[in-house]
Amino acid sequence: MSYIVKPKVHHPSLQKNAIGRTRRDYEGAISTLCAGCGHDSITAALVQAFWELDIEPYKVAKFSGIGCSSKTPAYFLKEAHGFNSVHGRMPAVATGAGAANRDLIMVGVSGDGDSLSIGLGQLCHAVRRNVNLTYVLENNGVYGLTKGQFSASADPGSMSKKGDVNTMAAIDGVLMALTLGATFVARSFSGDKAQLVPILKAAIRHRGFAFIDVISPCVTFNDHEGSTKSYAYTREHQLEVVQADLVLPQAEIAIDYSHGEAMRVQMHDGSVVTLRKVDENYDPTDRDRSYEVIRKHLLAGEVATGLLYISPESVDMMEQNEAVDGPLFNLPFESLCPGAAELEKLQTRFR
């Protein structure tokens, strides 16, 4: 993960958020990805989302596996700990970290190879566990670092740069997450920051596993004609079925809900996600209907985007585990060790 440190030049007129930080404070090192890479736009959206949420960067922990996407945690939130783990195994590391400290705000960045091939099992089980993690799948249908092999999300019939045609079925992360019981499922496009930032904000505030599949074109290996993950193809076929916005608790009063089709979903921290349906038939709190509509669009060659499903009843892993409030890692030792007298008493059982 090569990176170059950014120069620290801050313009005095940069806008500050509620905790007095500028967007610059949410950035990281300079990206070494290819110019025009979709992943860099997603990094920028993450910077924007955390800044808008007024989150102290050090309260965040960033996770990734291996691949182009997995380099990106170095490019945002330099004041946060990051863990670039092994290929396809980021969910396990984040699961453990979340168990040690449930107060961490965890964000994981992965790719389609990392998530849907080598790490498919880990992704599935992190979804099932409802780990409190914002999981961004930067989806470009191709292996970049190894120069252009198809990934498991490549659509059947799509063509590689070299001209090979993919003959295998694609794994659709969104449909898969829905069937596995995910409590927050979204799809977006790296070229649509206006849509992506509110989704990320809602995901970060969601208590549970928030799965976001972001079509993120690979300019070097998968942005040609014949690709179904190119900028041109995605722009043409993207269909927003629901518009999401996140309203923070303190800002709630100022928002006018009177117009349109807005649905309100209350989050654990008191903030509210408003969902404006573009598609009349869509209900983003109905798992089966969501599945049906997304599947229908998929078969029609359309990429349905938006905050596609959200469960207001999400119970995350540590709640399921009935864990104490706050982190486990710094509980006082005296409250963890039963002590000599108790050991003596216990051992009457072993006689």
Partner 1 sequence: MTSGVNEFAIKIATANGTGSGSANSLIMQAIFRMGIPVTGKNLFPSNIQGLPTWYEIRVNKDGYTGRTPTFDFMVALNNATYAKDVAEVKSGGYLLYDSTWPFSEELRRPDVTYIGVPLAEMCNLSFKGVRERILMKNIAYAGALAALLNIDPDIIVELTQEKYSKKQSLLESNRRAIALGFDYVKAHFDCPLPVRLEKMDATKDSILIDGNTAASLGCVFAGATVGAWYPITPSTSLMEGFTNFCRRYRVDTVTKRRKYAILQAEDELSAIGMVIGASWAGARAFTPTSGPGISLMSEFIGLAYYAEVPAVIFDVQRTGPSTGMPTRTQQGDIMMCAYASHGDTKHICLYPADPHEAFEMAVKAFDLAERYQTPVFVLSDLDIGMNDWMIPKLKWDDSYRPDRGKVLSSEELDAATSFFRYLDVDGDGVPYRTVPGVNPKGAYFTRGSGHNQYGAYTEDSDEYQEVLDRIAAKVKGSAKSVTPPAFKRKIGAKTGIVTVGGCHGACVEALDRMAAEGIVHDYMRIRGFPFDDDVREFLEMHETNYVVEQNRDGQLRSLLMLETGVSGHKLESIRYYSGLPLSAQVVISAVKEKQRRAA
Contact footprint for partner 1 (CB under 8 A): 1-3, 56-61, 73-74, 78-86, 89, 91-101, 103-104, 121-122, 124-125, 129, 317-318, 321-325, 327-331, 333, 335-340, 342-344, 346-347, 350-351
Within a 10 A sphere around the Cβ of 31, how many other Cβ atoms? 21
Least CB distance to partner 1 at residue 323 (A): 5
Q: What is the DSSP letter of 30?
A: B
Q: Is 25 helix (H, G, I), strand (E, B) or coil?
A: helix
CA dihedral over 98, 100, 104, 110, signed as positive or negative: negative
CA atoms of 215 and 190, how far apart (whole Å): 6
**Nearer to partner 1 by C-beta: 60 or 246?**
60
Residue 325: CB partners within 8 Å, gap ≥ 6?
A: none
Residue given tokens 């076929």 in the structure block: 237
Q: Is 2 helix (H, G, I), strand (E, B) or coil?
A: coil
Least CB distance to partner 1 at residue 122 (A): 6
Least CB distance to partner 1 at residue 117 (A): 14
What amino acid is encoded at 318 in this protein? M
Which element (helix H / strand E) includes 297?
A: helix 287-299
Q: Is 119 helix (H, G, I), strand (E, B) or coil?
A: coil
**Nearer to partner 1 by C-beta: 67 or 284?**
67
**Nearer to partner 1 by C-beta: 204 or 303?**
204
Least CB distance to partner 1 at residue 60 (A): 8
Least CB distance to partner 1 at residue 65 (A): 10
Residue 258: is it exposed, middle or buried by C-beta count within 10 angstroms (0-12/13-18/19+)?
exposed
CA atoms of 200 and 214, how far apart (whole Å): 11
**Nearer to partner 1 by C-beta: 59 or 268?**
59
**Nearer to partner 1 by C-beta: 15 or 347?**
347
Least CB distance to partner 1 at residue 349 (A): 9
**Nearer to partner 1 by C-beta: 25 or 192?**
25
**Nearer to partner 1 by C-beta: 168 or 331?**
331
What amino acid is encoded at 95 in this protein? T
CA atoms of 34 and 19, how far apart (whole Å): 33
Least CB distance to partner 1 at residue 153 (A): 21
Within a 10 A sphere around the Cβ of 161, how many other Cβ atoms? 16
**Nearer to partner 1 by C-beta: 3 or 257?**
3
Residue 258: CB partners within 8 Å, gap ≥ 6?
A: none
CA atoms of 116 and 123, how far apart (whole Å): 8
Least CB distance to partner 1 at residue 334 (A): 9
